[in-house]
């Protein structure tokens, strides 16, 4: 078992692996959307171009297969370039975000130590417009994984050259068999959302944590915008950042880097 604990209650990320097979327990930590019953509905704001329509629909259908949640697509509520977070939902965006090294970024805003209040997913067309990444498999993998992060899921494996686990929550150099969630992802969601809350963060009236995602930053100040590096991937690149916004609010950022 590998366990990474982050000080000051920022995050606890746990992985379990036995004989090369990833098991459940791949959550960011205690982070989840507050709700009073299951299954709950988490709306995905559609701020993507037609090139991403199929990948977004596929991810929406895949995550809605879970017994604890539905993730329907609704009209987007933000400018794709800025991809500003909207309380109580996840905004999914694509744009040419520049040669900053990342394919996709997922962010969640957390209040009260564990409750997600809003989320964003950014898909970087600067790379997805190239021959290497402009494929259905790469688009499906990254869209599925970044949305999975906004649900509270972490990766099942972060070593790119390991055999594929058949899940989009697995880092890989070959996305062909890693385009959808697998049974372990659905099991983990059931664990994350096994309890209910006395309130919900799935309404437009929930707390509006300050600021934008900050992911329009230049290469030189991007780390400062993301916050403190909390974890690195199998290539040694920062994959998880945390930022304290004050007043009990935190911002967490997952980054999927291009090769």
Q: The domain that contains 46 carries what CATH number?
A: 3.40.390.10
Phi and psi, residue 145, nearest 5°: -65, -45
Asked whether residue 2 is domain-assigned, the answer is no
Q: How far apart are CA 239 and CA 254, in angstroms?
A: 6
255 neighbors 105 (Cβ within 8 angstroms): yes
Phi and psi, residue 135, nearest 5°: -135, 150
**pLDDT tens, residue by residue, 105-127:** 999 999 998 999 999 999 999 99
Asked whether residue 9 is domain-assigned, the answer is no
For the chain, the domain total comes to 1
Helix, strand, or coil here: 45?
A: strand
**pLDDT tens, residue by residue, 202-213:** 975 444 444 444
Asked whether residue 22 is domain-assigned, the answer is no
Question: What residues in the chain have per-residue pLDDT under 50?
Answer: 1-24, 205-222
Domain hosting residue 63, numbered range: 31-257
Asked whether residue 19 is domain-assigned, the answer is no
From residue 214, alpha-carbon distances to 2, 42, 69, 253 in Å are: 31, 23, 28, 10
Q: What is the pLDDT of residue 209?
A: 41
Asked whether residue 11 is domain-assigned, the answer is no
Asked whether residue 40 is domain-assigned, the answer is yes
Q: Angle, nearest 10°, between helix axes 136-151 and 53-64?
A: 40
- What dihedral angle (degrees, nearest 10) is formed by the CA atoms of 259, 171, 81, 28? -140
């Amino acid at each position: 078992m590998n366990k990474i604990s982050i000080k000051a209650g920022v995050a606890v990320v746990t992985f379990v692996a036995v004989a090369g097979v990833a098991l459940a327990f791949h959550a960011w930590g205690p982070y989840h959307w507050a709700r009073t019953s299951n299954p709950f509905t988490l709306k995905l704001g559609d701020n993507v171009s037609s090139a991403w329509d199929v990948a977004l629909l596929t991810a929406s259908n895949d995550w809605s297969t879970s017994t604890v949640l539905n993730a329907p697509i609704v009209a987007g509520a933000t400018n794709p370039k800025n991809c500003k977070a909207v309380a109580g939902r996840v905004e999914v965006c694509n744009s040419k975000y520049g040669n900053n090294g990342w394919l996709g970024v997922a962010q969640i805003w957390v209040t009260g130590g564990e409750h997600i209040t809003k989320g964003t997913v950014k898909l970087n067309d600067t790379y997805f417009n190239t021959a290497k990444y402009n494929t259905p498999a790469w688009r499906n993998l990254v869209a599925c994984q970044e949305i999975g992060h906004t649900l509270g899921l972490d990766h099942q494996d972060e070593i790119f050259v390991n055999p594929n686990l058949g899940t989009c929550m697995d880092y890989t150099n070959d996305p062909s068999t890693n385009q959808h969630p697998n049974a372990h992802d659905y099991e983990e969601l059931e664990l994350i959302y096994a309890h209910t809350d006395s309130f919900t963060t799935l309404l437009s009236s929930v707390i509006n944590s300050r600021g934008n995602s900050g992911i329009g930053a230049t290469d030189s100040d991007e780390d400062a915008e993301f916050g403190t590096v909390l974890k690195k991937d199998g290539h040694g690149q920062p994959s998880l950042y945390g930022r304290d916004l004050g007043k009990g609010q935190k911002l967490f950022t997952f980054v999927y880097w291009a090769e």
